[in-house]
Amino acid sequence: MNQLTYRLEPNDAERLVVQQAIENYIQSFLTQLPSLPAFVDTPDKGAGLLESPISENPIPIDQALALLKKEVDEPGINSASGGHLGYIPGGGLYYSGLGDYLAAATNKYAGIFFSAPGAVRMENQLLRWMAGLIGFPENAAGNLTSGGSIASLIALATARDAQNITSRLIPDAVVYTTAHAHHCLDKALRIAGLGECPVRYIPMDEQYRMQPEALSEAITQDKAAGLTPWLIIASAGTTDVGAIDPLQAIAAIAREHSLWYHVDAAYGGFFALATSGKSRLAGIELADSVVMDPHKGLFIPYGSGAVLIKNQKQAAETHHYQAHYMQDALSAIEEASPADLSPELSKHFRGLRLWLPLKLHGVAAFREALEEKLTLARYAYAQLQQLPGFETPVEPELSVVIFRYVPQQEAMDTNAFNQKLIKAVQADGRVFLSSTMLEDRFMLRMAILSFRTHQPTIDLALTILQEKAKELELNWEA
């Protein structure tokens, strides 16, 4: 046998050398993290990686790690930083990384119960725990996904079949949501073959929440016109401003008209753990399906979403499969297999990256961290209201704070000023903020959801905003 094939199986000593080098790299990164910038805009943006092409011959671990550090970890947003206050920050718990290491090394196939009964039990246990958080029944269907996009696709495909939306009905099958619904939902509709469905964007109130009266009126009008309303999509934490739609009122309308009720709680769902957050999500338990992302509210690394569907039978009817080569696995029915509730067959054992930190930290630590983020958002909002020139049009319901700076000189265009302000903050690099549009207003966003973000980080961000706004006013060029 060709001895080269054995190179893929390093011995004990070789494994230890590489493992120690990687662990040293990680420990150094975590030790330095508090002083590292939250954003770095390098000239080549990691293009130096291409100067070391994939080749026939190996390179030493120290050389590989040097490439990783310079070309991958340094440029762009430092997602592990507590200064990452843009978009909706992802997590990066250390124990989750160890969970991924364990999952990859043991390589359990967690798609079907027959193959890995313990792994499937673990993932289903986590999903039942999530169901309990939002008031879903214990026997609800669920799946740990790569993120909110695939979770939304699973939910909307299930809704399509449960509502009997066949191809002939699609052009007249109406969907109801708001203009602030996440774009992955529109993408999921298109991928699920529902791109021709009319979509009604229901008006929002001054806090950017769906107006139930307008929803009810739209459904009634569409029915009178001979159309087929079938799906309402509400948000429990919009990306733009963190708004929570009136979930209970929308649920009542969905029941009245027999529509599928989906709640996108990818960002906001896990605030149900926090004492002050749970009441804000009242009504989420009335949904037919809910999406919530552990890589947001539970601080797990990117690639961790979840979908919960109240009726397991409906989810299975959309996603189950059979194949002759899988006949040995068909008798194992003690637990629902993820492959029967999702488009995925081959899948990463995602449960371990969530189970391990929950077990090692305990749920109370997550509850306290989420409560802190809600407190920090209220703090940032209150501080911005006191700062001259800053405008805060939306009171935060969760942990997104929306604002802009209105310059004193009328000759300064407010939108242009804030576009320059966000670029100045990002170029500074100590914190990273993002922006959005509210109607025709260019707004800045402070999204507070990193477990490493604490009050000194918020104070630093506020200081930088004041400094950069003052510099821009003094040196303004239209």
Over the stretch 311-320, which tens digit does the pLDDT of each residue have?
999 999 999 8
Fold match between domain 101-362 and domain 364-474: no
Backbone φ and ψ for 132, nearest 5 degrees, come out as -65, -35
Give me the chain's average pLDDT, please.
Answer: 95
Cα separation values, 300 from 80, 95, 275, Å: 11, 9, 21
Q: Which CATH class is domain 101-362?
A: alpha beta
At residue 316, the 3 state secondary structure works out as helix
pTM metric for this prediction? 0.95
Digit-coded pLDDT (tens) for 323-346: 655 655 554 567 899 999 999 989
Does residue 439 come out as left (phi exceeding 0), alpha (psi in the -120 to 50 range) or beta? left
Residues forming beta bridges with residue 201, ordered by sequence position? 177
Cα separation values, 412 from 75, 99, 371, 418, Å: 33, 52, 39, 10
Residues forming beta bridges with residue 204, ordered by sequence position? 210
CATH 3.40.50.920 holds for 364-474:
no
At residue 329, the pLDDT reads 56
Digit-coded pLDDT (tens) for 235-293: 999 999 999 999 999 999 999 999 999 999 999 999 999 999 999 999 999 999 999 99
**Helix (H) and strand (E) counts in the chain:** 15, 13
Q: How far is residue 377's CA from residue 448's CA, in Å, rounded to a whole number?
A: 7
Q: Determine what percent of the chain is predicted with pLDDT higher than 90.
A: 92
At residue 208, the 3 state secondary structure works out as coil
- What residue spans define the domains of the chain? 101-362, 364-474
- For the chain, report the end-to-end CA distance as a whole number of angstroms: 72
Burial of 66 (C-beta count, 10 Å sphere; 0-12/13-18/19+)? middle
Residue 105 has pLDDT above 90, yes or no: yes
